[in-house]
């Protein structure tokens, strides 16, 4: 069985045993998104720490470069393992690029860099912005970028 199918089955199995009726609310793709994006967010923070803390780059530059790398990785992993899309990648890439541009301006530069400019430690501001972007990006990926296309109805 391909690893993407195993990942999907594992997410489905875990969601099925969630307590308090959460199994009726939480989609397996949300759990998959949380796992994948938790990993890529860790990559993002590691790169931000390297770029800003280690190399001394400005916060805005460290955030920007770490963001592009982490979100490229997120696209590939979510397309392959979570949403298991076989649709043409070109249209999805364009939709994803628009989504991350909006996300970048609103949450990373707007909220993340804004909170940092207000004196909140840059890791904390990035985590707050990351929580907001997570909700936005899951919604966009599930219902826009990797939305299942309706089958044409044959007469």
Burial of 134 (0-12, 13-18, 19+ CB in 10 A): middle
Handedness of CA 76, 134, 128, 61 (dihedral sign): positive
Handedness of CA 131, 135, 141, 142 (dihedral sign): positive
pLDDT band at 131 (very low <50, low <70, confident <90, very high): confident
- When pLDDT is averaged across residues 48-71 and rounded to a whole number, the result is 91
pLDDT of residue 100: 85
How far is Cα 9 from Cα 6, in angstroms, rounded to an integer?
5
pLDDT of residue 126: 81
DSSP label of 105: I
- When pLDDT is averaged across residues 126-154 and rounded to a whole number, the result is 82
pLDDT of residue 11: 96
pLDDT of residue 151: 52
């Amino acid at each position: 069985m391909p690893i993407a199918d195993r990942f999907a089955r594992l997410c489905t199995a875990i969601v099925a045993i969630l307590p308090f009726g959460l199994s009726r609310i939480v989609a397996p793709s949300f759990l998959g998104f949380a796992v994948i994006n938790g990993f890529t967010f860790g990559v993002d923070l590691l790169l931000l720490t390297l770029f800003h803390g280690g190399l001394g780059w400005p916060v805005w530059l460290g955030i920007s470069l770490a963001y592009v790398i982490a979100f490229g990785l997120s696209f590939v992993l979510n397309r392959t393992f979570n949403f298991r899309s076989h649709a043409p990648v070109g249209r999805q890439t364009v939709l994803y690029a628009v989504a991350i541009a909006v996300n970048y301006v609103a949450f990373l530069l707007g909220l993340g860099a804004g909170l940092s400019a207000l004196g909140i430690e840059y890791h904390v501001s990035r985590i707050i912005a990351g929580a907001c972007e997570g909700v936005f990006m899951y919604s966009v990926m599930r219902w826009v970028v990797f939305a299942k296309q309706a089958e044409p109805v044959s007469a």
